[in-house]
Amino acid sequence: METTARWRSAVDLAIDYASGALSPVDVTAEILDAITAENKAINAYCLVDEDAAMESARASARRYAAGRPLGPLDGVPVSIKDLLLTAGWPTLRGSELINPGDMQWDVDAPAVARLREAGAVLLGKVTTPEFGWKGVTDSLRHGVTRNPWDTDRTSGGSSGGSAAAVAAGLGALSVGTDGGGSIRIPASYCGIVGLKPTFGRVPLYPASPFGSLAHAGPMTRTVADCAVMLDVLSGFDSRDWWAMPAPAARAADVLAQRPRDLTGTRIAYSADLGFGSNSVGVQRNTEAAVDVLRGLGAQVTEVDIEWQDPAWAYHILWFSGAEAVVRAFGPGATEKIDPGLARALVRHRDFSAADYLDATALRMSMGVQMGKLHESFDVLVTPTMPTVAFEAGVDVPAESESQDWTSWTPYSYPFNLTGQPALTVPSGFDGGEAGRPALPTGLQFVGARHHDDTILRIAAAYEAAAPFTTLDSITKGSR
């Protein structure tokens, strides 16, 4: 079945541009038209710059015509999460506290700079909850971002605008951030690929107030696109004192070596990390995905991680940063922020230096345990989320016993504590009762630090054996 250009992968777009089968100008125009027609329903974009996008697309077309593209993302349409500085556009961070006129907005964050240097077409900024503080995407400034599969459901967060845009075909790629699951939660809920790289692989500037919990990474519709985008985003930037040098091997090249063969690959499987609980549908899809990995030749061993929920430690580290963000806006700021954030800051305050050190000690202990696990296993596989997306416009599902978003996303924030790379891919669908659409579920691959390429290779093999379903194919009735 023919697919319109807006649904082409980034890898395929680059091939089509080089052959002359497609033009960056036509593809960009098609996506901009789709944003105009469809963004109102999902509210993924909070800023669209049609003139700048078309100018960038025309420059890309000229490079392809001359046989001199800048790289594999030249001419590929991309959106930027509105937590990342982007020259020429305000970065409002989902907050009414930020006045667009207060800054000149003339600096690119490292990820944005690398995309611009690679010739990508920057379409605009996509939504985030205020300061990226929670696992769903809504804000007083920009309203509720919804799931393209069912607009009554949340897109997840905090990179919910990124996930919704990519899932809805409103751009091939997006840059998200992940301080506790903010790439993987919405990617799972929206049925796309999302990678939280090893901490330091993708530089950040300015430094995140959440310190070494915070990562930036690719959000895409295919694993190959994720690898190509990671290659572009990776590498040293002097503005980030944690930034690692560019890796010796390109992730995209690693994927090309043997994407369908997992013979000899050692996979640890945990359904719950010792403290989670999954819906029937998520558990069914996760077990089916593990069977696919076994069928590809992988040696899969069920392991007992036996963690106690580390949310207490995460809350100390996270909300210390959140309190500092709000405090910087001066007296009265708390009265102007998301009421949920204000309540959370009251719940999670009065931490001592000893508490902070205890939290840091726990994350170090978890890191040691994971390091030991990866001496025996190449990757750890878990569900990404224990359920499908819930109602849009609320911070936690109706059945939650806690007001904290960490209560319903047990498999994401532990790996921000450890700094490991973690990748989510679609694992199937669940729900759809009473005439509602079925919703995506996700499978998470967690690797040893600095082994991002390993999880991409294993995920690519899974993708080849169990191809992902896109919203476009559902709409066309091909599912």
Domains and CATH numbers, the chain: 5-475 (3.90.1300.10)
For the cut 90, the answer to whether the pLDDT of residue 94 exceeds it is yes
Instruction: Quote the pLDDT of residue 476.
Output: 57
Catalytic residue among 9, 81, 270, 412: 81
Catalytic residue among 56, 158, 208, 320: 158
- 443: DSSP letter: E
Contact 35, 50 (CB under 8 A): no
In this structure, the strands spanning 266-269 and 299-302 are: parallel
Cα→Cα distances 232→48, 61, 108, 236, 458, Å: 23, 20, 15, 11, 20
Instruction: Quote the pLDDT of residue 369.
Output: 98
Worst-scoring range by mean pLDDT, 68-72, 132-136, 242-246, 374-378? 242-246
Instruction: Quote the pLDDT of residue 154.
Output: 98
Render pLDDT for 314-359 as a digit per residue (tens, 0 to 9): 999 999 999 999 999 999 999 999 999 999 999 999 999 999 999 9
Q: Return the closest-CA partner of residue 199 out of 383, 458, 451, 373.
A: 451
- Residue 477 binned pLDDT confidence (cut-offs 50, 70, 90): very low
d(CA 176, CA 472) in angstroms, rounded, equals 22
Instruction: Quote the pLDDT of residue 339.
Output: 97
134 catalytic? Reply is no
Report, as an integer, the average pLDDT of 292-306. 97
In this structure, the strands spanning 45-48 and 121-126 are: antiparallel
Q: In this predicted model, which residue has the larger pLDDT, 300 or 479?
A: 300
Contact 284, 253 (CB under 8 A): no
Catalytic residue among 95, 182, 270, 427: 182
Instruction: Quote the pLDDT of residue 131.
Output: 98
Instruction: Quote the pLDDT of residue 479.
Output: 33
Report, as an integer, the average pLDDT of 205-225. 97
d(CA 29, CA 6) in angstroms, rounded, equals 9
Q: DSSP characters for 49-83?
A: -HHHHHHHHHHHHHHHHTT---STTTT-EEEEETT
Instruction: Quote the pLDDT of residue 435.
Output: 78
Report, as an integer, the average pLDDT of 236-264. 89
SS3 content of the chain, % helix, strand, coil (to 5): 40, 15, 40
Render pLDDT for 177-207 as a digit per residue (tens, 0 to 9): 999 999 999 999 999 999 999 999 999 999 9
476 catalytic? Reply is no
Instruction: Quote the pLDDT of residue 431.
Output: 86
For the cut 60, the answer to whether the pLDDT of residue 1 exceeds it is no
Element holding 24 (H helix, E strand): helix 24-42
Q: Which residues pair with 48 in a beta bridge?
A: 124
For the cut 70, the answer to whether the pLDDT of residue 478 exceeds it is no
d(CA 90, CA 459) in angstroms, rounded, equals 36
Report, as an integer, the average pLDDT of 447-473. 95
Six-digit token string for 119: 């010739």
| Tally of CB atoms within 10 A around 448 | 21
81 catalytic? Reply is yes
d(CA 307, CA 366) in angstroms, rounded, equals 9
CA torsion sign, 247 to 249 to 254 to 255?
A: positive
For the cut 80, the answer to whether the pLDDT of residue 234 exceeds it is yes
Six-digit token string for 113: 């700079």
Q: Return the closest-CA partner of residue 82 out of 144, 135, 121, 130.
A: 130
Report the share of the chain in percent with pLDDT over 70.
98
The strand ranges marked E within 37-192 are: 45-48, 77-81, 121-126, 138-139, 143-144, 146-147, 150-154, 173-178
Q: Which residues pair with 154 in a beta bridge?
A: 146
Q: Return the closest-CA partner of residue 157 out of 246, 94, 207, 107.
A: 94
- Residue 3 binned pLDDT confidence (cut-offs 50, 70, 90): low
- pTM of whole model > 0.85? yes
Worst-scoring range by mean pLDDT, 52-56, 142-146, 469-473? 469-473
Contact 17, 69 (CB under 8 A): yes
Q: Which residues 6+ apart lie within 8 Å of 148 measured at CB?
A: 42, 155, 164, 167, 168, 190, 471
Cα→Cα distances 394→84, 132, 138, 437, Å: 25, 15, 9, 20
Q: Return the closest-CA partner of residue 53 out of 22, 29, 74, 81.
A: 29
Give how far the C-alpha of residue 462 lies from the chain's centroid of Cα atoms, to the nearest Å: 19
User: How many alpha carbons lie under 13 Å from residue 139 in its C-beta half-sphere?
Assistant: 31
Contact 460, 391 (CB under 8 A): no
The rounded mean pLDDT for the chain is 96
Q: Which amino acid is at 168?
A: A
